[in-house]
Amino acid sequence: MNMYKSYQFRLYPNDSQIIMIQKTFGCTRFVYNHYLEKRKKEHLTCFDMIKDLPNLYSEYPFLKEVDSCSLRCSLFDLEDAFKRFIKHQNNYPKFKGKYSSKRSYRTNYITSTYKERKYENIKVDLKRKVITLPKLKEVKIRGYRNLESLPGRIINATISEYSSGKYYVSVLVEVNHLVAKIIPKRIVGIDLGIKDVVITSDGEKIKNEKIIEKYEKRIKRKQRELARREKGSNNYYKTKRKLAVLFQKLKNARKHFIHQITKKLVLENDIVVSETLKVKEMIEEKKFSKSLTDVCLSEICRVLEYKAKYYGKRYIQIDTYYPSSQECSKCGYKNEKVKELSVRNWICPECGSYHDRDINASQNILFEGIKKYVKELI
């Protein structure tokens, strides 16, 4: 099977490369906004826009200075934004602002042969630690020390600048991955939570790492500090920058943590079952704000899905309305009293079983997962 995998490297552009990257951010944003404005007045297909693009060059010659492929990519992005809008997956496309927290542009891999020599616009040399990018030539990179070369065909590269001021490049690679068919033997149900991030039906509780909590606390403190500062003052920007660095650190720590727990779950089991987060939100009657935890849980689901596929295993999500924490996993008795989140342990009035709230929930999730899996087999 063909899979897409992205490799992210820290990018170390020199001064003139930084100028070119910044120019490209500006030009891709300009093209995006220009055609968004146009599409408000007339219907344009993606093909129409790409055909019209050279006309824009004569009017705005600065567009010629940057990688033309990146401009076409921003039109593909605009097209995607409209498609998602039509499918009700997001709001009407918005204009791109100059000061968004993460700025980026994408460029596609192009190859050609001239006089029996092969030319490629994107090349990654992991021995010399450089990436070749259109208009930038060679840029220093860091990351993937144990890799000798990228294990597949390059599709595209996305160059980003985070609000911390650091540059990254993410290279998307098509990998031909052989997946062995596994006959499932071990199946586990997991409950996703806040204090314990993952609770398995085997009774294991995986806590958020201390370092993540530490960063979260520091971020909260800095956010309060920022609120006290006078907007636009020197100290305001200083605090804002420190906050951006902390967010980046938190993101990296969380990425590492999610990678570890999902890998363990997928390697130790053949089928992993969880509830969809939408269901969880309904059942727990919690206000799942767009908090940091919320992002973390949906990321766990996304990575589980991906990793399960990668190792030839299954990740099943249960989508039915199902009060997993209220039902006794031994006899099926529904205990309304457990609805209260403060109830951490309970004894089933029907069969007398002692339950830890979360472990009981994950065992119910496991049974629902088995039911769904068996139904698929028939």
User: Would you please indicate which residues are annotated as catalytic (active-site) residues?
Assistant: 191, 275, 358
Instruction: Answer yes or no whether residue 168 interacts with Zn ion by CB under 5 A.
Output: no
Instruction: Answer yes or no whether residue 133 interacts with Zn ion by CB under 5 A.
Output: no
Say if residues 193 and 277 touch (Cβ distance below 8 Å). Answer: no
Instruction: Answer yes or no whether residue 157 interacts with Zn ion by CB under 5 A.
Output: no
Q: Restricting to residues 176-235, which ones interact with Zn ion according to CB under 5 A?
A: none
3-class SS letters over 331-361 = CCCECHHHHCCCCCEEECCCCCCEEEHHHHH
Q: Restricting to residues 310-329, which ones interact with Zn ion according to CB under 5 A?
A: 328
The residue written with tokens 């401009």 in the block is 71
Q: Which residue, 330 or 371, is less far from Zn ion as judged by CB? A: 330
Instruction: Answer yes or no whether residue 330 interacts with Zn ion by CB under 5 A.
Output: yes
Among 110, 179, 295, 331, binds Zn ion (CB under 5 A): 331
- For 108, residues 6+ apart whose C-beta sits below 8 A from its C-beta are 69, 72, 73, 155, 156
Please state the closest distance from residue 3 (CB atom) to Zn ion, in A. Answer: 43
Taking the CA atoms of the chain, what radius of gyration do you get in angstroms?
25
C-alpha to C-alpha distance for 172 and 4, rounded to whole angstroms = 7
Concatenating the DSSP letter of every residue in 282-349 gives HHHT----S-HHHHHHHHHHHHHHHHHHHTT-EEEEE-S---TTTB-TTT--B-GGGGSTT--EEE-T
Instruction: Answer yes or no whether residue 338 interacts with Zn ion by CB under 5 A.
Output: no
Instruction: Answer yes or no whether residue 300 interacts with Zn ion by CB under 5 A.
Output: no
Instruction: Answer yes or no whether residue 1 interacts with Zn ion by CB under 5 A.
Output: no
Instruction: Answer yes or no whether residue 367 interacts with Zn ion by CB under 5 A.
Output: no
Q: Restricting to residues 29-48, which ones interact with Zn ion according to CB under 5 A?
A: none
Q: Which residue, 250 or 338, is less far from Zn ion as judged by CB? A: 338
Contact letters (x/-) for Zn ion, 342-361, by CB under 5 A? ------x-xx-x--------
Among 162, 322, 333, 367, binds Zn ion (CB under 5 A): 333
Please state the closest distance from residue 344 (CB atom) to Zn ion, in A. Answer: 17
Q: Where are the alpha helices (DSSP H) in 173-319?
A: 210-228, 234-268, 277-284, 292-310
**Where on the chain is the footprint of Zn ion (CB under 5 A)?**
328, 330-331, 333, 348, 350-351, 353
